[in-house]
Structure 1
Amino acid sequence: MMQAFQRQDSSHASLIVEHTVPKGKGLSFRFWHANLTRSAKKYPGFIRTDLCPPVKGRDLKWYSIIHFDTPEHLNQWLKSDDRETLIQAGQDLFESYQFKSFNTGLEGWFSTKTGTEHIGFGPPAWKQNLAVVFGLYPVVMLQSMVFTALGIMHGWSPSIAMLINNLITSSILTWIVMPFVTRLLGFWLVPAYQQSDQQKDVLGTVIISLALIAIAALFMTVE
């Protein structure tokens, strides 16, 4: 399995990639990673790559860190045909392959999928926050109203009831609500590394704000 996490700071953007390499394929993986580095060097903004082998006797996980000067340059290489060719060539070295990147921690709800890759360079943090509130608010309100009306968890310890409620809410968000929200607001949830259309930014923000006000008004009428 291969997982990746994006980190950005004031000087560069880095991608930390976790590879699970079967025993006996470590040397081949080193050669493959060297080819990956040579490929990345051809792209603007490349700084360096670091490779950390697995802890001896512990696991089969290798960590590769790829550094570029900006998220835009990193993304350019990530979407390149050269990288795709190398990934395909390295399939025999990986038991499975999954790509994810995170910055705020919410990108998993806003990631796009290409084949077996999940590319999670999400929209700006303020858009992520507003979109999550747009999805979360009606779920929490409906869940509270239904549970109260049916007496579900009535008399339970508050700490246990809150834990169960949070598990239910987060599950509904992850598998039902947020996939719908990201599709609905796809025109507005532009990845942070891309220049967004100001008119669409305003339109999306107004739509969400009005929708939240309307939902709040609706809940007030049925309380």
Structure 2
Amino acid sequence: MISGNERAASLVIRHEVRPTDKDDYEMWLKSIATEAQRFAGHMGVNIIRPHNSTGSYTIVLRFDSDERLDSWLQSDTRKRFINEIRPTLVNGEELEMHTGLEYWFTPPAEHRLQARPFKQFLITLSAIFPLTVVLPWVLHPVFDYVPLLGRPIINNFILAVVIVYLMVYVIMPRYTRLVSRWLFQ
């Protein structure tokens, strides 16, 4: 688990579903995802469905802090949902906490899915390039107004901090979810 209130937390959940219960599990999955969205700090959910004959689902749940993620994990709502679905699971559930970039391109699975390097390059470039064009233009008035911030090393550092922050916490979690089908083909 991560420390600090200001850092997002991701929970990776693995469920092995009995083949005869996949339809019930899919309905359950939609219901619990809807409930999780109602909790404070919820930042999104990504579901990786089985790619072969196994019933192995991977769910990535993101909250804006580990405290809010813990609140969801300990909630009566989640406990009720887990008790409801437990009979359809082969081995119960596996939970792992993650932070930062490690889950962007290599989600865990039985046969580890890995985006091809050229796809990682294209996704990352298409997210960073617009930021490197727009952010200097947007922050230029601030750099002009405060001369100390206008020094090359300082303004480059500020731009790097803003770009990395936006990439880690705002853009890439949503962007990779949006293009995940293409990314992992």
After TM superposition, the score normalised by the length of structure 2 is: 0.47
Larger Rg: 1 or 2? 1
Higher helix residue share: 2
Higher relative contact order (CA 8 A, sep 6+): 2
Q: TM-score, normalised by structure 1?
A: 0.39
